[in-house]
Amino acid sequence: MSLQKLLIEIEQKAQQEANGILENAKQEAQKIIAEANTKAASLRDERTKTMMVELDAQQRAELAITRMEQRGEILRLKSQYVNRVFEEAGKRIAEMAENNELQYRELLAHLILEGIRRLSGDKFLVEANSRDRKTIEQALRTIAEKAGRTKNNEIVLQTGILQARTLGGVVVSTLDGSQCFNNTLEARLSAARNLGGEVYRILFGAGETNE
């Protein structure tokens, strides 16, 4: 074989080998690119999913905050209405007391009888402000008779001036001072506030107290 033919053959084999290497490299490159594209697409999908989850979580958090704010505003308004009820009740009772209305006289008798029922014994001191004391003394015998029927015993009642300032009502105690029951208007309104849930139900309907 001549030198020229040998060189041509070597060149052809080298070219074939180079082409083979280039083809393999091209295929490998395409494979790498395809894998990279697949991974990139997967990452994009994953990132998109993550962003959607984050966005959904943010929206839900904002919605929850909005609902809490609305709920707080509703509770605040309800609380205002309940407070208004007690304020109006206090004003109305005070007016009744000042005018010595029949309803208030009946209320005084009820407060005294309740105090007597809560205490043991048969001798009691009924203390009230000077205005109510006069009203009580006018009905003292009748109240004592009703209390006697409740306790199945003769009841002795005495009256006194309550030292503490009060809108009305009474403080009933045993004559020996061992027992006492505060039934002033302030005490009754305070007790009613502690049962505010019932007022909520009356004003806003059943099942609305915790909204």
pLDDT for 99: 80
In which band, very low, low, confident or very high, does the pLDDT at 209 lie, cut at 50, 70 and 90? Answer: very low
Distance of alpha carbon 177 from alpha carbon 91, whole angstroms? 32
Strands (E) across 48-205 are located at: 123-128, 156-161, 169-174, 180-184
What was the pLDDT predicted at 164?
85
Query: pLDDT digit string (tens) for 5-22?
Result: 554 555 556 556 656 666
Mean pLDDT of 140-144: 94
CA-CA distance, 154 to 201, in Å (whole number)? 42
- Rounded-to-integer distance, Cα 8 and Cα 55, Å: 68
Under a CB-based contact definition with an 8 Å cutoff, are residues 112 and 126 in contact? yes
Q: CA-CA distance, 163 to 166, in Å (whole number)? A: 9
Residues 185-211 have a mean pLDDT of: 62
Q: What is the pLDDT of residue 207?
A: 47
For the chain, state the CA radius of gyration. Answer: 46
pLDDT number for residue 53: 67
pLDDT at 182 exceeding the cut of 90: yes
Q: Which two tokens stand for residue 49?
A: 């999913």
Please report which residue ranges of 99-158 form alpha helices under DSSP H. 102-118, 130-138, 140-151
Q: What is the DSSP letter of 6?
A: H
Assign 167 a pLDDT band (cuts: 50, 70, 90).
confident
Instruction: Compute the average pLDDT of residues 150-156.
Output: 91
**pLDDT score of 135 more than 80:** yes
Q: What is the pLDDT, as a whole number, of residue 117? A: 92
Q: What is the pTM of this model?
A: 0.56
180-184 and 156-161 beta bridge pairing: unpaired
Instruction: Work out the percent of the chain whose per-residue pLDDT is above 70.
Output: 56
- Least-confidence region, from 53-67, 82-96, 176-190: 53-67
User: How does pLDDT run across 25-84, given as a tens digit for each residue?
Assistant: 667 667 766 776 676 666 666 766 676 666 676 767 776 677 766 676 766 776 676 677
The mean pLDDT of the chain is 76
Q: How confident is the model at residue 211 (pLDDT cuts 50, 70, 90)?
A: very low
Q: Read out DSSP for 17-44?
A: HHHHHHHHHHHHHHHHHHHHHHHHHHHH
Question: Domains (ranges, CATH) in the chain?
Answer: 101-197 (3.30.2320.30)
